[in-house]
Structure 1
Amino acid sequence: MEREADWQEQRRQAIAGHAAALEAGRAAEAREAAALLDDFVRRAAERGLPAHTLQARTFDGRATYRTHVRGWYLKSNRSVAVGEDGEYYVLTVPASLRARFTGAELTPSMPRLIVGAGGGDGETVPLRQLLDQRLEAGVSWP
């Protein structure tokens, strides 16, 4: 019985250690991605790349709402963006009657170095690549 309790405690400690390591890695990734976003905002301003009022789409894709955030779309499907504040936004929101009139509220998401990682749709793109493509496209792309 005591042996089993020792084993369970060791297992709990191993799981906690693994979770802590994952979280530390995720935090380091977010810091690196945030630095890329800040650099993008600076470079976009230097190039005179205009920011736009971002729109968010409902999870089912049936409705689009304006938001109170200005920034730049990073993907042509307008699913992710970087705000003028340097924050990363995933532009999907729940359907809401209120949002139709007042606009959708966006909350910044923790940025990842690989956009779409863990999303399940199979489309993953390095964040740096999206940012560079957006800068290269300039004002010709909304």
Structure 2
Amino acid sequence: MADEHLTERQRAAKIRHELSQGNARAEAARAKVLIDEFIAAANEKGLAPRPLKATTLDGHVVKTDKVGWYLRTNHSVAIDTDGNYYSLVVPGGLKERLRGVKLTPTLAPLVIGRGGRDGETGDLKEFLDWTLNGTIPQD
């Protein structure tokens, strides 16, 4: 077995990591249901998706390869028209400022901003509702 060389502590850490990953995937599956419901409601309401922009770590706003809806007023997270969830704070330099960035989706959480210090935290459903009713600016 490949784990034979691991210490007891390393084995325990590996198990915790695997459990954490499983929990994150289960949470993302529940979040995906909420996101799919939002997309259907947005289409029904005529809330058009917009080209998404990201912010580099040094503060520059750059184009992305996705269209969708922002979920936070600071435009740091969004979903695209396929229901993928993105963090819109990205590394980048001059090349990204000129050409834009290609976003990679992350697992959607049920609580946005969990563990953050900026005060804008809450249930994913709340943020989706705020986006749908126009509380979260999209431009």
The alpha-carbon deviation at position 74 of structure 1 amounts to 0.8
Number of aligned residues: 134
Q: Distance in 2 between matches of 1:84 and 1:95?
A: 24
- Give the aligned CA root-mean-square deviation in angstroms: 2.4
Q: Which has the higher helix share?
A: 1
How far apart in 1 are the matches of 2:113 and 2:48? Answer: 25
Q: Secondary structure at the match of 2:58?
A: coil
Pairing of 1:1-142 with structure 2 (within 5 A)? 14-61=12-59, 63-119=60-116, 121=118, 123-137=120-134, 141-142=138-139
Instruction: Using the TM superposition, give the Cα deviation of residue 140 of structure 1 relative to its aligned residue in structure 2, in angstroms.
Output: 6.8
Structure 1 residues 14 and 88: alpha-carbon distance in aligned structure 2, compared to 1, 3 A threshold: same
Partner SS, residue 137 of structure 1: coil
Shift of 1:118: 3.5
Q: TM-score, normalised by structure 2?
A: 0.82
Structure showing greater Rg: 1
Q: Which runs of 5+ in 2 are unaligned?
A: 1-5
Identity of aligned residues (%): 39
Gaps of 5+ in 1: 1-7
Question: Matched residues in 1 for 2:40 and 2:53: separation?
Answer: 22
- In the alignment, residue 110 of structure 2 is paired with which amino acid? L
Q: Is the 8 A contact 1:50 1:139 kept in 2?
A: no
Runs of 4+ in 1 over 6 A off after TM superposition: none
- Give the TM-score taking structure 1 as reference length: 0.81
Q: 1:14 to 1:22 in 2, by over 3 A?
A: same
Task: Give how far 1:141 is off.
Answer: 4.6
